[in-house]
Structure 1
Amino acid sequence: MKGEININPDILTWAIARAGYDLQEFLLKNPKVEYWLEKIKTPTVKQLEDLANKLHLPFGYLFLPEPPNETISFPFFRTGGVATKKVSLNVYDTILILQRRQDWLTDYLLENEEQPLSFVGKFNNSASCDSIVEDIRRTLTIEKDWAREYPNFEGALNYLTSKIEETGIIVNFNGVVGNNTHRPIPVEECRGFVLVNKMVPFLFVNAADAKAAQLFTLVHELAHVWLGESAGFDNQNLLPANDPVEKLCDQVAAEFLVPHASFLQVWPEEKDFRKLSKIFKVSPIVIARRALDLNKITKEIFFQFYNNYMEGVRRKKESQGSGGDFYATSKKRISPHFATYVDQAVKQNRLLYRDAYKITGLKGNTYENFVTQHLY
């Protein structure tokens, strides 16, 4: 029949599994696909377009002779497991989105004759935690107990993010793929990842995580920049994978957020994690983690507190439901620093509007409203 196309059945089964579906369940709900697999019928172009959209698959992939090898170019660390270069579709697509942004911005900065960032890869994993923390503080121009000036850890997170972006690093907070709320990124799978290059490192923090855990992830990723190592991680129970770089990045995050000298000074008088969290402006779970690191509590006490705390966070989120300001959320998802570069390039006639829409995920009037009313 005119308009019908033969597709390799292996591509169809691969695409269904890639999107996270059970094959039999998917075929029960989409019987036409089973006909295509068994070559009883052949799909039309329109049917294949619909299938590609449903499976979050580039349309052209359906015409490949065999499934492509979709792996990431850097290690993704699992707590208690081994590093992998294979991640779920939602994480994979999120990495691709940020890699495209990073590639564009790197070229833009080079065209503007910008210089590489001197602190990227400044240390290796044989460096001491204290020396890395000291250099990060100096580069960000913040004091040892900087967080105490803020009323809560959300304020501390916002301040630290702005200081990081001032150095030329891009920070993205998102809990879904792009703006698609039907494609969540589970915290237990990915707390964050960092794409390191000399011109403009990109940090991704899972916005579905507790705010205070986001703060720890952010500094962990910052340490990766100083070590010049791209990586992803789940940091289950706020603990690192069994890898020298991961362990060092965790030590840096803990020391940066809760300096051991300051902690040991107040610990004899106050051992309540929640009260200490108000002093240091970090989450009670970060305080508990610091107490564990400094041998002030056992692992059993830490895990019990961690699990109870995160369960409370989960229940609170469920009771609050979804919602929020779209433009404020978009600002965090895209990064105001990155969006400013895009806006500049458009105004300089060095980036077409259609490409600005594509790279930011915002289209037409939504993009215009964002850059004119919410960006600056």
Structure 2
Amino acid sequence: MKVAVNAQVLEWALDRSLRRESLEQKFPKLSGWRDGDALPTFRQLHNFAKAAAVPFGYLLLQAPPVEQLPIANFRTVSGESGSGFSPELIDTIQAMQRRQVWMREYLIAEGHDRLPFVGSDRIDTDPVMIARNIRGVLGIDENWAANQPNWSNALSALIRLVELAGIMVMSNGIVENNTHRKLDPQEFRGFVLVDDYAPLVFLNGADGKAARMFTLAHELAHIWIGVSAAFDLRELQPADNENERACNRIAAEFLVPSVVLAEVWPQVHGRDNPFQLLAKRFKVSEIVAARRLLDMGFIARAEFMKFYRAWQDQEQRLAKKAGDDGGGDFYANQNIRIGNRFGDLLTRSVQAGTTLYTDAWRLTGLKKNTFQEYAQKIFGRSV
């Protein structure tokens, strides 16, 4: 069966995919489809839609659709909101929205109350006060990180505390479980979906692990001021937006309190690797420590940029070598992608019979047997 397709729609699909050259090589008859010299079969068009990560129905339209992200997309370099986004970002946000909708409905049905801290602060409130409010909800003080053996343990501990507070945290470097669809940290480091019952934080797992601590803190700030967004945070610098600037100040104060940094900096200034010493003290990445020094006027921008470029090159090499959290236990990695809080309540609901198996498989991206193994190995539940 042949299918007529609009040439402008095909062009739109190619541009949207950000993989024009590879798609043209994979579908050599594509130029004929666009010129009207040939028509694709239903199967060929379906295969093209899958390869281009475009909903099949879009290809049957008479004009290109106008797509918009469901949340603001703040880019540091361009300063544009909601433009030039990839299908990987769109699909990931939509997948997380489906999880959030399920979680919100589940919590309401179970009689849970709204989370009082969501949207509890204003962007013009002193960042020191908001950072203190966040620590209060999480049950930690300004020196909480000093008690952690390293930044990796500190990040894991912080995620556990964030989830205990009622916030879902998920991290993935690909679209669900599709290893052919990688997420680009140059496009976004993370995003946050604010909700008064089920706020959700997503960390780009393709980003350097050390950078995720700042992303998480930035997303927590968004929850406290009540604004959803996606962001790239180039050079750990926010986009030219009032909310983004406020969230960056809050995140920096949360991770590296200004009072403590002012006390510690004279002790390490002039020593070898001062950024590394500060990173160990506050359990953040060296780039976060350097950025905080720049913002507080302790180092010049030229010094920061020199260090940033060297750090970025090193992070990219490490990311290519390590891949997307591919090592370690498969089900533990799945729990990072799915989120411990979400996975816990979802498997609990499936076991109780209040959520269908098919819905659980759709929400997690896991097949039947894999989902059952995940529930058993991570939560000790037979579903």
TM-score (norm: length of structure 2): 0.93
1:1-376 correspondence to structure 2 within 5 Å: 3-22=1-20, 26-86=23-83, 87-271=85-269, 272-320=274-322, 323-324=326-327, 325-375=329-379
1:41-95 Cα shifts (integer Å, max 9, x gaps): 3222222221121111222222223222211132211114323123211111111
1:207-236 Cα shifts (integer Å, max 9, x gaps): 122222100110010000000001111110
CA apart distance, 1:320? 4.2
- Which stretches in structure 2 are left out of the alignment for 5+ residues? none
CA apart distance, 1:28? 4.7
TM-score (norm: length of structure 1): 0.94
Aligned-partner SS, 2:29: helix
- Distance in 1 of aligned mates of 2:365 and 2:34: 34
Contact 1:75 1:83 in 2 (8 A): no
- Distance in 1 of aligned mates of 2:332 and 2:252: 29
1:132-163 Cα shifts (integer Å, max 9, x gaps): 11111111111211011111101000000010
- Distance in 2 of aligned mates of 1:49 and 1:374: 37
CA apart distance, 1:242? 1.9
Q: Which amino acid aligns with 2:114?
A: P
- Distance in 2 of aligned mates of 1:71 and 1:167: 31
- Distance in 1 of aligned mates of 2:223 and 2:55: 31
Aligned-partner SS, 2:268: coil
CA apart distance, 1:185? 1.4
- Distance in 2 of aligned mates of 1:373 and 1:311: 37
Q: 1:362 to 1:282 in 2, by over 3 A?
A: same
The ranges of structure 1 where at least 4 consecutive aligned residues each deviate by more than 6 angstroms after the TM superposition are: none
CA apart distance, 1:200? 0.8
Q: 1:113 to 1:363 in 2, by over 3 A?
A: same
Q: State the superposition RMSD in angstroms.
A: 1.7
1:105-141 Cα shifts (integer Å, max 9, x gaps): 1122222232111101001111111111111111111
- Distance in 2 of aligned mates of 1:317 and 1:335: 21
How many residues end up aligned between the 2 structures? 373
Q: Which amino acid aligns with 2:289?
A: I
- Distance in 1 of aligned mates of 2:320 and 2:71: 34
Aligned-partner SS, 1:31: coil
Q: 1:215 to 1:67 in 2, by over 3 A?
A: same
Q: Which amino acid aligns with 2:34?
A: L
- Distance in 2 of aligned mates of 1:313 and 1:263: 25
CA apart distance, 1:371? 0.8
CA apart distance, 1:31? 2.2
Aligned-partner SS, 1:248: helix
Q: 1:103 to 1:321 in 2, by over 3 A?
A: closer
Among all aligned residue pairs of Structure 1 and Structure 2, give the percentage whose two residues are the same amino acid: 40
